[in-house]
Structures are given as C-alpha cells and as structure tokens.
Amino acid sequence: MRKSIITLLTDFGIKDHYVASLKGVILGINPHCTLVDISHQVSPQDIREGAFILANTYSFFPRGTIHLSVVDPEVGSSRKPILIVTKDYFFVGPDNGLFTLAAPREQVSQVVALTNKKFFLPSVSATFHGRDLFAPVAGHLSLGVKPGAFGSELDSWMELNFGKAKIKEKGLVGEILHIDGFGNLISNIRKQEFSDFTGDQPFVIKVGTRTIHGLKRRYSDGSRNELIALFGSGGFLEISVREGSAQKILKAKRGDPIQISTKFRAPNPK
Amino acid sequence: MRKSIITLLTDFGIKDHYVASLKGVILGINPHCTLVDISHQVSPQDIREGAFILANTYSFFPRGTIHLSVVDPEVGSSRKPILIVTKDYFFVGPDNGLFTLAAPREQVSQVVALTNKKFFLPSVSATFHGRDLFAPVAGHLSLGVKPGAFGSELDSWMELNFGKAKIKEKGLVGEILHIDGFGNLISNIRKQEFSDFTGDQPFVIKVGTRTIHGLKRRYSDGSRNELIALFGSGGFLEISVREGSAQKILKAKRGDPIQISTKFRAPNPK
Amino acid sequence: MRKSIITLLTDFGIKDHYVASLKGVILGINPHCTLVDISHQVSPQDIREGAFILANTYSFFPRGTIHLSVVDPEVGSSRKPILIVTKDYFFVGPDNGLFTLAAPREQVSQVVALTNKKFFLPSVSATFHGRDLFAPVAGHLSLGVKPGAFGSELDSWMELNFGKAKIKEKGLVGEILHIDGFGNLISNIRKQEFSDFTGDQPFVIKVGTRTIHGLKRRYSDGSRNELIALFGSGGFLEISVREGSAQKILKAKRGDPIQISTKFRAPNPK
C-alpha cells in the first residue's frame, strides 16, 4: 500500500468549507493518503507569510511528501499553476512566489506547468483552483502519476525578493520577517551572518527604541518581562519576552528593522 | 481493509476538549477510519450557518462518506437524533434542520431515529450527545452496521426555511446567506435564477447603498478596493472586494437584501 | 500493521509552523500512526489549562493511545522531559505538572526521564523540544520501543496543586477551573461532593453577585438569558446560559469562587 503524505497550507481560514473541499477531493482520488494541515491561518492573500511558514516546516516531513500550498490572490488569472519537483519533495500551488523560501533550498529537478485537464475536476471554477485543480493534481501525484504527465516543463518559476540582512555603517541591519503566535519577532538574520559580523566582539541588538545586550539560549532565560534575543528553532535571530509578547511590548510589525552593532556605549555597571 | 471517511462539523470550537472526545470515541470503535474536520467554528448554536457550510462541501467527499454534524442547541431535549441515508452519503446528527440544504439534494432512501442504546456509550450524558451518542453511531456505521439497526424508520425529518430569492416589482431580491472568512458576501441567488431573470438585458446589483454594474469572473478581476459581483465556487452570487473585505466596506450582515434590477439609469459614460 | 494513535495538545496556536513540524517528525518515524489534535489553543504557557483540557478527553481514546502534550514555558531548562506509562495510556511531555489531572486517575506503572539521545532528532534546539525531543520519542514509542529504552526510571513526577472545593462556614466553596468556548463556567465541584454536601436539603448556588436556585439537566432547560447550573459532561458543576455566554454575563474569570449554600432565604413566590 502506497502511503503518501500531503500537507496543506492555505489562507482559507478554518471556519468555512474551503479546506474540507480540498480534502474531500483528494480522498476521493486517493483514500489512503495522509493529510496534514500546516496552516490555514495565513493572513488573507499574504504570499510572503505563507512562504515563511512553509519554509520553516516542509523539511521535517519524510521524503516524498507532497506540499500543497494555496495562497492565491490572482486565482483564475494568467499566473500559472505549477508543480516543483525536488530531490525529496513535491510542491504544488500557484506560481506567485509562494515557494521562494523552500524550493531553492532543495535540489530542484523539474518544474511543470499544470495544464493537463485530465487531472482536474471535470468543471474548473474561476474562483477556487485549490479545490478544482491543485487538490486533484496532488491526489493523482500521490497515486504515483509522473510529474511530466501534468503538463509541459518550465524553465523557471517565480521568486519573490525577501530582504536580506545587510552590513551598513551602523551595523548589521535586518528586518522582522514574521511574528509568531507567542508574539516572538523572527528576523531575517541567520546565525552564520550574525557570528561572521560580530566575531568575538561584544555587541548590542537594537529594535524599536530598545537595546538588548547579548544573547540568551532559551525563552526561559530572561526574567519576567525582560526583552531578550536568541536564535530560534528556524535558525533566525528572534526577539522574545519571557511569558509575554515582544510584539505587544514593542508594538512591532513585520518589516521593522533590527540592528546589530559592535560600537556602543557599554551599560554603566552599578 | 474497510477505509471509511467520517467528516465532522460542529460549533464546539477548537480550544476545548470536545472535538477530540468525539474523535477518541470513533477511533475506539473503528481505528481504521479517516477523520476529516469540516469546521468546528460554526457560530455557537447557529444551525443555519452549519447547514450552509455542510451543503457547500459534503458532495466533494467520496461515496460512502459519513457526515457527522453536531450543532445542537436543544441537546438532551425531545429533538430526535437521526441518521439520513442517501444514495451516496450518510448524515448523522440532531433533527433540527442542520441537513436542510444538503440531504434534499441527494436521493434520500432512509431516515432512522437513533434509539438503539447498544450503539451509544454506556452512559449518555444530558449535555454531550456528540460524544456519547452521535460519535459512537458514526463509528459503528463506518464498520458496516446496517442503518436499520440503529432504530426505527421515520417518515420525515426537519427542514428549515431558508429564504429563496424572489421576483418583486423592483427586481430579483435575495439575501446574504453567509459571510466567509475573506469577507465575501454569499447570497442565496443561484446562477440559473439570475440568468432566467436578467436574460440578455443589462442589469445592476444593489447591496446596501452601493450599486454594482455587471459581473466579474474572478476575485482578481476588480481593481483594488472595487466592489465586484461574481458567481462563487458554490454557484451563488457573491459580492467581493479585491484584496479586501466586502463585509467591512458595506458593514453587511447575514440576511441583508441583495437586489438585481434591469431597470436603472445607465451610468454616465465620461 | 501496527496502528497507533498519537494525540497532540500544545499552546503553539494554529497559525505557525510549529504543530506541523511535530507531525512531520512523527510521520517520518512512523508513517502509519494516526495523529489527532486535542487542542493547540491552550493559552500560551498555561500549564493548568492544558492539564484541564487533557484530563477531560484522554480517557475517551482507545487503550494504547500516546498522549503527547507540550505546554512548556521552561523549555530547555532543567525541567525534565518525561514519559508516564499507565495501565492504558502513555503520556509524553515536560515534567511541569501538565499531567496532574490525568495520570493520577490511571494506574501509573512507570515514569521515565527521557535522556536517550538516540531517540531525539540529531540536533536538539534549546527552544523547541516539542519537535526535537518529544515528537520523535512519541514516534518511536508508537513503533513499539519499550519505555525503559528512553531513559532511566524516576520515582516521582511533578503535580500541581489544583484547588479543591472546601466546606466552609458559608457552605461548600469551589472555584472556576475553566471557561469553555461557549462561555460555560466549569467549576472544580464534583457531583459526589455536591450531593454529599447538600443531601436532600434545598440549596442555592452563588456566583459573582448572582444566586441560582436548583439544578437543570440540560443546557436547553433554561429560558433564554437565564443563568442556570448543571453537571456537565466532565462531571463538574457548570454555570451556563441558554444560547448565551455565562462568562460575559457574569464577567467571570478563572479562579472566581462558586459557593453552594443550604442556608438561605427562599425566594418570595409571587
């Protein structure tokens, strides 16, 4: 028995019938596959947020997993429906940048435009390709249909420009990429960039009007209400508050800058 | 191996232990069935909303799927627990109108009052029939127990009156049946009714204080913040705003009228 | 085929990638296990709430179910990761009191400190033991690995002090233990304690500034907006309002007292 896993990531929310319709369609094609929700709470039409969430979790799934991701503000327009095949995974969804942070980290072997109507629902609505096109393609893929059968190969797919941390005069400057449900502020500053920049010099981290000295290892290392910085489980620099929300304390939003500086006045030891 | 699918639709929310208890009970009876959540975010005790969500998704599941639906404000009272058997599906839940929009679209072959205590949990609470009665019945049904074994047949089941669109002097008048998570306003005006009414005449759609000219095909066909009308994936006329919420812009609520008129002043072409 | 069930209870929320990562890790170890969400909406770091939700549902799952519960404010610190083995279930999670209300109701046969790194992910982060340590342990356990293989036995595990109802001069005094999604106030007063205290005397129930006379059997027994008391499906005294929220009407919060008194002025019959 082929036991395939299909994950689902969408901005459909969990109140309406949309997600269940995708699942019904898939199970109608392959009743033996295992469906796993990644998230359906991506902010409506927020491709970047979807890309971030997918990138943080897709690689924890076993080889062969099909990642079906639908954040699709241009549904029904000329944006292409695609399948990206990598060494270990399949990514199915709209070609709008949703796979920017995940696919390039894998060895991409094939990109296919989904055009073969044989693998769609008999009637494809203009408004719900998740159900009528992407879900059935994922279902057939999980049965072992070869990627090439779904359409013709493409030379490229769309990548979005996610800001990278940069070294400027005032220091290493990154930005907040994501704010999680605990209110932790996750930046785009990776551990390696950080160490390369700071070396063994002392440093401060500036975010909003606040300055943080040094790094902690664990969320519980701070005292209550203390703003701390640490490297989170995704390998990015995070700002956090023990048993509180850094987002609320700093009134931070996505895109806000985070700055690492090795030139600063040392705090006055009391 | 019998691989049955049971869907769950409730107003239990996703924070509490209620939904998991249903699932535990079902898996205790049939560990091989596949459980799929439709929604647990039906507004508390809102039978009409539950009926709408179920009607929009049940038919995308494969033949033989058991739809277990529990929005049950009168739990423990004289309202009957029922099983409706149709050509392709089973519906299990309280007889309070929850199946009004789904079951009549199928060929109903049998309606059974769930009275055989053999298929309930040993002790049935007065407050949680979802766990103690409906879930075990669904579990046994998924093992192949014949519908007649659960109780005696009924001649009828409860249907709620959902307002239908009507032709009045000012035009075809329907109402908002559902507001989805994107803020799209879904009316009770079906595509066929709409075309029968408008024929090939030009028309306007009036909702709140706003007038919309013509139909679009896709959500992305409007310009940003433009109020548009289109037929959604469920076949109903919808009011939508590109990358925004029609609900917020119109401060609309369920039950608000939507009016189609073929007699109107044409907009002044500039 | 071994068909194991693993439940998940966390405070990770449902927007982020955290829950999916746990599931991916588990399915990578045992693709045949069945994953069931209990809740991921435990209030952040609220161990007591997690303990309550778990206690209300774990026993409805079949024998052999693995309950993986991660509400873990002290992640990465000296709090131990543990496995509690009982006659019918396995509990995996941090040793911080999360199992206080569930495990003692079962026959505990073994408590193991999870120290054998062979069963963890190759690299364990300091911030996400759910993914790196607890999930892989649950996965291996579901494959039949013996509890003793995960580490050495412990003599005890941490239990939190949940206030018990007490008999005082003014009556039997308990408190609100949990407020569910319907706004029902669930107290820590069990049915038996209640009957032992009231015997066959008339009684009143005082909560906030309100007094309730007698008990109902069902949520639907009250008139609209009437505050009622009843024993809920978990066996605790609950305060409820028909088609409304007792929490909102009483502006109640967890920890508020609920008092049963057999000495009171009878209401004036009009």
Any A CB within 8 A of C32 CB: yes
The CA dihedral of C223, C227, C231, C234, to the nearest 10 degrees, is 110
Q: How far is C48 from chain B (nearest CA, A)?
A: 13
Q: Which one-letter DSSP state was computed for residue B124?
A: -
Which of the residues B142, B180, B219 would you substitute to probe the A interface, choosing the one with the greatest number of A C-beta atoms within 10 Å?
B219
A147 in Cβ contact with A83 (< 8 Å): yes
Confidence of residue A128 (pLDDT cuts 50, 70, 90): very high
Q: Where are the domains of chain C?
A: 5-150, 166-261
Residue A169 makes CB contacts below 8 A (sequence gap 6+) with none
Average pLDDT over residues B232-244: 89
Which contiguous run of DSSP H or E holds residue C48? helix C47-57
Q: Which chains touch B (3 or more CB pairs under 8 A)?
A: A, C
Q: Which residue of C has its CA nearest to A10?
A: C15
* Structure confidence by residue, pLDDT tens digits, A7-46: 999 999 999 999 999 999 999 999 999 999 999 999 999 9
B146 in Cβ contact with B84 (< 8 Å): no
Report the distance separating Cα B87 and Cα C258, nearest Å.
Answer: 52
Encoding tokens for residue C126? Answer: 């300091």
Residue A137 makes CB contacts below 8 A (sequence gap 6+) with A81, A83, A92, A114, A119, A120, A150
Report the distance separating Cα B246 and Cα B241, nearest Å.
Answer: 5
What is the 3-class SS of C217-233, one letter each residue? CCHHHCCCCCEEEEECC
Any B CB within 8 A of A224 CB: no
Option in C39, C61, C182 nearest B14 (CB) = C39
Q: What is the CATH number of domain B166-261?
A: 2.40.30.90
Which residues 194-223 of C have a C-beta within 8 angstroms of A? none
Burial (CB < 10 A; 0-12, 13-18, 19+), residue B166, is exposed
Work out the end-to-end distance of chain C between its first and last CA atoms, rounded to an integer number of angstroms: 68
In this prediction the pTM is 0.92
* Structure confidence by residue, pLDDT tens digits, A44-71: 999 999 999 999 999 999 999 999 999 9
Interface TM-score (ipTM) > 0.95: no
| C-chain residues near A7 (CB < 8 A) | 20, 24
* Structure confidence by residue, pLDDT tens digits, C199-214: 989 999 999 999 999 9
Residue with tokens 């469906």: A35
CA angle B193, B196, B199 (to 5 degrees): 140
pLDDT at B1: 40
| B-chain residues near A28 (CB < 8 A) | 60-62
Any C CB within 8 A of B145 CB: no
C186 in Cβ contact with C176 (< 8 Å): yes
Confidence of residue C266 (pLDDT cuts 50, 70, 90): low
Is the domain defined by B5-150 classed in CATH 3.40.50.10790?
yes
Option in C31, C77, C127 nearest A233 (CB) = C127
| B-chain residues near A21 (CB < 8 A) | 56-57, 60
Which contiguous run of DSSP H or E holds residue A50? helix A47-57
Average pLDDT over residues B186-201: 93
Report how many Cβ contacts below 8 Å link chain B to chain C. 94
